[in-house]
């Protein structure tokens, strides 16, 4: 791996690379995110924003109680979020545990959803507490079952103990495993990294290690995709693009439940990384309940009155 | 399809502007004699006609203030005085939207700022000072519990309501009565505040508001019935006032100009520093005495910061001040616009490199794009003189001491900014900087509990906090 | 009486820790209450003032940086040295002013005690006059009193020693440096006090003492652009207005005091407020 020429794979070079990053002032970042949250957008733009947000959703079910039936229902919804309106785009991907990948892939292909990706959470999701051998096997299983996207978790314990090279090497190995078969999203679990300095550091670490996407959270820990955390990650991909001419994607996940939240995320993208990132290939939103709110808002814009949850499907 | 922000204009319907205003003297609105127009600087629309107070009006206002002082206000207990201030604070909160829209119409500042900064802070100032009224004996070393008497207060056009609050709230809390003159361009919120005084049933004459220009201000400054002068405005006028009151026993506080340095050390949190630079110099169109108008960059990060700053400046939204998405509003007056243009032109002729954010300026009204000059040195006029507009001069330094020396190399001393992630460096720099307000890893933050005011030619005294209150009490041991 | 001829002292200025004669070569005569010649002190010139300001400015940052504890000890040291030379000061006061020895002794005692009182203020100022301000937001915000810079002062005509100490001590205790014009009629205490200062660990330039005419020097002090503040307590009230007008050119802080109190110290301190975010 070339690591963009930023590091040579050694501990020393990684420390030097991460050590050169500027810090993040929490209060300043919070203030900037709060200010951007006050932007309001045009009605025509809002319609576009809702459809864009729908196409960016990684429709997610990550429960111990997941069954083939539940996953198949999710896939159906992913392909045609609103069965009564064919103009509603499909979502970006479904996101499932890796034992459900095969079922999801098969069902999507069956119902004309070949264009919808299957993202598998991997590397001992959500805690990441397993041997590397298990993590590799976990990922291999998902790839073999047809996953087109791997959402791996980093070892937060290693990160917090300062073992950056350990975290780096894990990402590198999973990235090598993905090769050209799947896109790699690296989940930080920002609620456990706690500080924005750590979020920025993890972002640069993961990007140099070959991540295609950096992702906030598993959805199992709060706080998750807060606006300032996403801001810090968007600043990181923007700066990384300056350094390498490579655009890395960002995926907030967890806590984005309604249209207003989703549009705030798009405003953050537009003002921070730039409009080039306003595409499902560079921005995804990990969510489940969000999709129905987006659909209801879309109905409201079309019909002129507020919709009822009775008119949108449950998963 | 792209992502566009909506014009999200705040409704004007919450305000009703009279075609003509008089003065507020002795608790009543009295008709003026001569009038001049006040305009919306974003559209040049005439909003109303404002009265020009002359000798008779100023004299009547001072007499009303004196009468209220001797018969009512100085006899009232602090506890009761405080209740009036609490009432005023509450009414300002109730009518916050109205104040914000009116301020934006009259001043040209973005509604986001009048709504989120000016008006809430103005109410907070009354709330804070209300609590002082019955605690003057605890106001600290060197102050008595005795007010001066009648305070003459002259305020600028950049934060019309907020500056009124900074002046009126501590004056009343300390037991003074006031004669206040708003700036000629921005009288409307002061006149709305007069209505608030009526609604609060403030005793007649405790607050008197006379409108007018510099000639009215001079009448207040020179009126023998005034015991205390408080002025916010230019250093030039501040010196004129200082000379005018020199032979008298009037106590004076002055809050004047600045040319604040915003110093970025190489270890700064760069993205937040960029926001701090933006907020430092483009907040309120740069019409801020404490604006961070000199950016002093450590050479090792200068290119990166300038590059990021330009990209960020390109995202500044300039236009209709009533639009909630607007970041930069209108320049307050044609006169000020010409000043900004003239001083910026000296930057060109003196060899600095100008860059303005690409933006479409509205055809009507007074506008100036967010602008930076790079390659500026200490001897450029744009590094020394207050531009009072959205114009930033960029200088560089090599060592921390050189940065501080450049920052301090000015007759002003109002504020300064420091950006570094190193605690000991921040404390060192904040000790070294000769300025009354130091913002470390932030900028342009204000609070009623926080004393504000300058060293050197940036003024006399503080506003806010215990130190600000003391300006409205007689000093112990002073003659 | 012995036949020995007295060795009389030449009274000079005190600038930057040294005792120069006025560069102008001008002197004036002072006499005792009975009209007998006492001395020819210097009539300080505008250039002497300029030299004193340069010295005071150069000394200011170092003096300001000295810890409050150190400043307090140095002021206390001045009191110690003055105490040790009580007799000389009593004699000079009696000689020049003609007051009784008892009265002169009281002035010297008060002067020593006053210095001790001011000395103790050095490390209390910021805790009593500073503040931790509870702003509405995630910011740490504090206000500290800080030295203003170079301060000029006109000492009153009398009491010539105690008045001089009230003109010097409150100004320097907070980190300012001072140029003080001594009592015109009774400058001997001031010039002897300079000798006390010179032996009290006071860094050169922190205290500078001139002798001369008030109406001549006060306007120069008022208009000097590198003087930040001016204590005009010793200047006749009729001259205050003109001095304040001249001082407005650089917005000098000009005050007149009627007593020794903490306000007198705080008048020549600036309040600096520092904001910093509180975050992770």
* B329-385 pLDDT, tens digit each: 999 999 999 999 999 999 999 999 999 999 999 999 999 999 999 999 999 999 999
Chain A residues in contact with C139 by the CB 8 A cut-off are 27
Chain B partners within 8 Å of A267 (Cβ):
3
CB contact (8 A) between residue C278 and residue A27? yes
Q: Where are the beta strands (DSSP E) in chain C?
A: 30-31, 37-39, 131-132, 139-147, 150-154, 177-181, 207-210, 229-231, 253-255, 269-277
Quickly list H helices, B208-256: 214-222, 235-245
Q: Give the sign of the dihedral formed by CA B163, CA B169, CA B171, CA B177.
A: positive
Give the closest-approach CA distance of A52 to chain B in angstroms: 10
- Predicted pLDDT at B476: 66
Contacts of A194 in chain C (CB under 8 A): 280
Cα angle for residues C143, C174, B290 (degrees, 5° grid): 40
Question: Cβ contact (<8 Å) for A48 and B275?
Answer: no
Predicted local confidence at residue B478, as pLDDT: 59
Residue B142: pLDDT band (50, 70, 90) is confident
pLDDT in tens, B469-479: 999 999 765 55
Q: What percent of chain B has pLDDT over 90?
A: 94
CA separation (Å) from B166 to A2, B28, B36, B278, B321? 60, 23, 26, 25, 24
Residue contacts between B and C (CB atoms, under 8 Å): 139
Tell me if residue B399 falls in helix, strand or coil.
Answer: coil
Question: Mean of the pLDDT values across residues C228-251?
Answer: 97
Residue C91 burial class via C-beta count within 10 angstroms: exposed 0-12, middle 13-18, buried 19 and up: middle
B304 touches chain A (CB under 8 A): no
Active site residue B94: no
Asked if A33 has any chain B CB less than 8 Å from its own CB, the reply is no
Q: H or E element: which one contains B179?
A: strand B177-181
pLDDT band at B7 (very low <50, low <70, confident <90, very high): confident
From A215, A261, A264, A293, the catalytic residue: A215
- The string of pLDDT tens digits covering residues B423-449 is 999 999 999 999 999 999 999 999 999
Supply the pTM of this predicted model: 0.95
Shortest CA gap A277–chain B (Å): 12
- Which conformational region is residue B324 in: left (phi greater than 0), alpha (psi within -120 to 50 degrees), or beta? alpha
How far apart CA C280 and CA C259 sit, in angstroms, is: 49
CA distance B244 to A184: 73
Say yes or no: A308 contacts chain B, CB-CB below 8 A. Answer: no
Give C208: exposed, middle or buried? Use CB within 10 Å, 0-12, 13-18, 19+.
buried
Contact A30 C280 (CB under 8 A): no
Mean pLDDT over residues C147-156, rounded? 98
B455 to chain C, any CB pair closer than 8 A? The answer is yes
The two counts, helices (H) then strands (E), for chain C are 10, 10
CA–CA separation, B473 and B140 (whole Å): 11
> What pLDDT shows up at residue C200?
95
Take residue B253 and report the two structure tokens written for it.
């506080």
- DSSP conformational letter for B456: G
pLDDT at A2: 81
Residues near A245 by beta carbon (within 8 Å), at least 6 away in sequence: none
Residue whose entry in the numeric block shows the structure tokens 């109190």: C261
Among B141, B437, B439, the residue with its CB nearest the CB of C263 is B141
Give the closest-approach CA distance of C271 to chain A in angstroms. Answer: 25
Q: Is B233 on the interface with C (CB under 8 A)?
A: no
Per the listing, tokens 């003189």 go with B385
Q: How is residue A181 annotated by DSSP?
A: T
Which of B111, B115, B269 is best to mutate for the A interface (most A CBs within 10 A)?
Answer: B269
Give A-chain residues touching B4 at CB under 8 angstroms: 41-42, 44-45
- How sure is the predictor about B17, in pLDDT bands with cuts at 50, 70 and 90? very high
How many pairs of residues across A and B have Cβ atoms under 8 Å apart? 72
Cβ atoms within 10 Å, residue C23: 16
Q: Residue C205 and residue B20: Cα distance in Å, rounded?
A: 62
C139-147 vs C177-181, strand pairing mode? unpaired
Chain C partners within 8 Å of A197 (Cβ): 280
Length of chain A: 315
pLDDT tens for residues B112-139? 999 999 999 999 999 999 999 999 999 8
Catalytic-residue membership of B255: yes
Cβ of C277 and A27 within 8 Å? Answer: yes
Nearest-Cα residue of chain A relative to residue B6: A42
Contact A28 B268 (CB under 8 A): no
CA distances from A134 to A131, A141, A167, B214 (A): 5, 10, 15, 80
How many A×C Cβ pairs under 8 Å? Answer: 17
A82, A138, A151, A293: the active-site residue: A151
For residue B269, give the nearest of A23, A31, A42 by CB distance.
Answer: A23
The tens digit of pLDDT for each residue in B250-274 reads 999 999 999 999 999 999 999 999 9
Q: Which residue has the tokens 């700022």?
A: B113
The mean predicted confidence, pLDDT, of chain B is 96
CA distance B242 to chain C (A): 6
Q: Among the residues of B95-143, which ranges form H helices?
A: 96-107, 111-113, 119-130
Q: Name the active-site residue from B184, B197, B289, B290.
A: B289
Regions of chain A where pLDDT drops below 70: 1
Report the 10 Å Cβ neighbour count for B291: 31
Specify the pLDDT at position A99. 95
Q: Is the pLDDT of residue C6 over 90?
A: no
């Amino acid at each position: 791996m070339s690591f963009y020429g930023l590091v040579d794979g050694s501990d020393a070079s990684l420390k030097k690379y991460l050590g050169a990053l500027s810090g993040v002032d929490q209060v300043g970042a919070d203030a900037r995110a709060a200010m951007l949250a006050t932007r309001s957008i045009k009605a025509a733009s809002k319609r576009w924003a809702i459809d864009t947000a729908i196409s960016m959703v990684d429709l997610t079910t990550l429960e111990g109680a997941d069954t083939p039936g539940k996953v198949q229902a999710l896939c159906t919804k992913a392909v045609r979020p609103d069965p009564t309106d064919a103009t509603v785009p499909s979502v970006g991907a479904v996101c499932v545990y890796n034992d459900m990948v095969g079922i999801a892939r098969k069902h999507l292909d069956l119902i004309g959803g070949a264009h919808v990706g299957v993202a598998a959470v991997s590397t001992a999701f959500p805690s990441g507490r397993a041997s590397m051998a298990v993590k590799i096997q976990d990922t291999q299983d998902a790839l073999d079952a047809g996953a087109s996207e791997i959402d791996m978790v980093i070892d937060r314990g290693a990160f917090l103990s300062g073992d950056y090279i350990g975290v780096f090497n894990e990402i590198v190995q999973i990235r090598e495993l993905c090769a050209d078969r799947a896109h790699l999203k690296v989940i930080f679990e920002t609620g456990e990294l706690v500080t924005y300095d750590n979020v920025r550091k993890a972002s640069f670490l993961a990007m140099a290690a070959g991540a295609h996407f950096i992702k906030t959270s598993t959805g199992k820990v709060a706080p998750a995709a807060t606006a300032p955390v996403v801001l810090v990650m968007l600043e990181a991909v923007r700066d990384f693009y300056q350094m390498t001419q490579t655009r890395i994607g960002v995926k907030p996940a967890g806590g984005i439940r309604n249209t207003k939240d989703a549009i705030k995320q798009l405003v953050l993208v537009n003002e921070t990384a730039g409009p080039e990132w306003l595409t499902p290939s560079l921005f995804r939103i990990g969510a489940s309940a969000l999709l129905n709110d987006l659909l209801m808002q879309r109905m409201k814009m079309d019909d002129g009155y507020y919709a009822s949850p009775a008119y949108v499907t449950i998963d | 399809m792209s992502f566009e922000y909506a014009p999200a204009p705040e409704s004007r319907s919450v305000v009703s502007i009279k075609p003509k205003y008089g003065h507020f003297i002795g608790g009543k609105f009295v008709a003026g004699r001569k009038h001049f127009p006040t305009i919306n600087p974003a559209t040049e629309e005439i909003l109303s006609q404002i009265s020009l107070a002359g000798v008779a009006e100023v004299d009547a206002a001072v007499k009303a203030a004196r009468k209220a002082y001797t018969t009512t206000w100085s006899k009232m207990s602090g506890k009761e005085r405080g209740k009036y201030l609490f009432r005023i604070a509450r009414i300002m909160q109730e009518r916050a939207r109205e104040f914000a829209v009116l301020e934006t119409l009259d001043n040209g500042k973005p509604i986001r700022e009048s709504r989120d900064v000016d008006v809430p802070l103005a109410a907070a100032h009354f709330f804070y000072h209300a609590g002082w009224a019955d605690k003057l004996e605890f106001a600290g070393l060197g102050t008595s519990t005795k007010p001066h008497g009648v305070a003459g207060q002259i305020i600028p056009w950049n934060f019309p309501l907020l500056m009124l609050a900074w002046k009126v709230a501590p004056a009343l809390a300390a037991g003074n009565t006031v004669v206040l003159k708003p700036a000629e361009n921005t009288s409307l919120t002061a006149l709305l505040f007069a209505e608030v005084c009526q609604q609060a049933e403030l005793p007649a004459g405790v607050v008197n508001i006379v409108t007018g220009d510099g000639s009215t201000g001079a009448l207040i400054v020179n009126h023998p019935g005034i015991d205390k002068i408080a002025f916010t405005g230019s250093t030039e006028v501040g010196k004129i006032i200082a000379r005018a009151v020199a032979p008298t026993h009037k106590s004076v506080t002055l809050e004047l100009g600045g040319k604040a340095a915003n110093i970025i050390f190489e270890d700064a949190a760069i993205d937040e520093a960029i926001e701090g630079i933006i907020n430092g110099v483009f907040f309120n169109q740069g019409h801020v005495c404490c604006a961070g108008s000199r950016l002093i960059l450590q050479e090792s990060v200068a290119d990166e910061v300038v590059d990021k700053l330009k990209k960020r400046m390109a995202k500044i939204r300039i236009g209709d001040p009533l639009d909630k998405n607007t970041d930069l509003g209108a320049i307050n007056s044609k006169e000020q616009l010409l000043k900004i243009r003239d001083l910026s032109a000296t930057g060109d002729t003196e060899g600095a490199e100008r860059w303005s954010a690409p933006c479409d300026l509205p055809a009507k009204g007074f506008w100036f794009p967010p602008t930076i000059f790079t390659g500026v040195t200490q001897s450029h006029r744009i590094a020394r003189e207050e531009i009072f507009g959205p114009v930033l001069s960029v200088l560089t330094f090599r060592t921390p001491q050189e940065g501080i020396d450049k920052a301090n190399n000015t007759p002003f001393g109002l504020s300064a900014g420091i950006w570094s992630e190193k605690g000991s460096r921040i404390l060192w720099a904040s000790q070294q900087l000769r300025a009354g307000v130091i913002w470390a890893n932030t900028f342009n933050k204000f609070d009623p509990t926080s004393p504000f005011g300058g060293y050197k030619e940036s003024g006399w005294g503080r506003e806010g906090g215990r130190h600000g209150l003391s300006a409205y009490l007689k000093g112990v041991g002073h003659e | 009486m012995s036949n020995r001829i007295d060795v009389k002292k030449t009274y000079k200025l005190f600038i930057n820790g040294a005792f120069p004669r006025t560069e102008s070569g001008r002197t004036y005569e002072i006499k005792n209450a009975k009209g007998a010649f006492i001395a020819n002190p210097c009539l300080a010139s505008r250039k002497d003032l300029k030299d004193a300001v340069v010295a005071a400015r150069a000394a200011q940052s170092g003096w300001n940086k000295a810890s409050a504890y150190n400043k307090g000890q140095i002021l206390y040291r001045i009191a110690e040295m003055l105490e040790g030379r009580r007799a000389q000061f009593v004699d000079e006061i009696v000689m020049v002013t003609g007051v009784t020895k008892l009265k002169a002794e009281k002035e010297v005692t008060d002067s020593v005690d006053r210095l001790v009182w001011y000395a103790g203020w050095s490390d209390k100022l910021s805790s009593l006059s500073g503040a931790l301000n509870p702003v509405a937001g995630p910011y740490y915000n504090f206000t500290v009193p800080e030295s203003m810079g170079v301060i000029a002062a006109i000492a009153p005509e009398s009491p010539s020693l105690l008045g001089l100490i009230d003109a010097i001590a409150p100004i320097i205790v907070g980190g300012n440096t001072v140029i003080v014009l001594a009592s015109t009629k009774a400058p001997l205490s001031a010039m002897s006090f300079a000798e006390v200062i010179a032996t009290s660990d006071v860094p050169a330039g922190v205290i500078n003492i001139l002798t001369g005419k008030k109406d001549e020097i006060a306007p120069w002090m008022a208009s000097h652009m590198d003087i930040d503040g001016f204590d005009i307590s010793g200047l006749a009230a009729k001259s205050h207005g003109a001095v304040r007008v001249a001082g407005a050119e650089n917005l000098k802080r000009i005050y007149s005091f009627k007593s020794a109190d903490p306000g007198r110290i705080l008048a020549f301190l600036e309040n600096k407020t520092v904001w910093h975010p509180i975050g992770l």
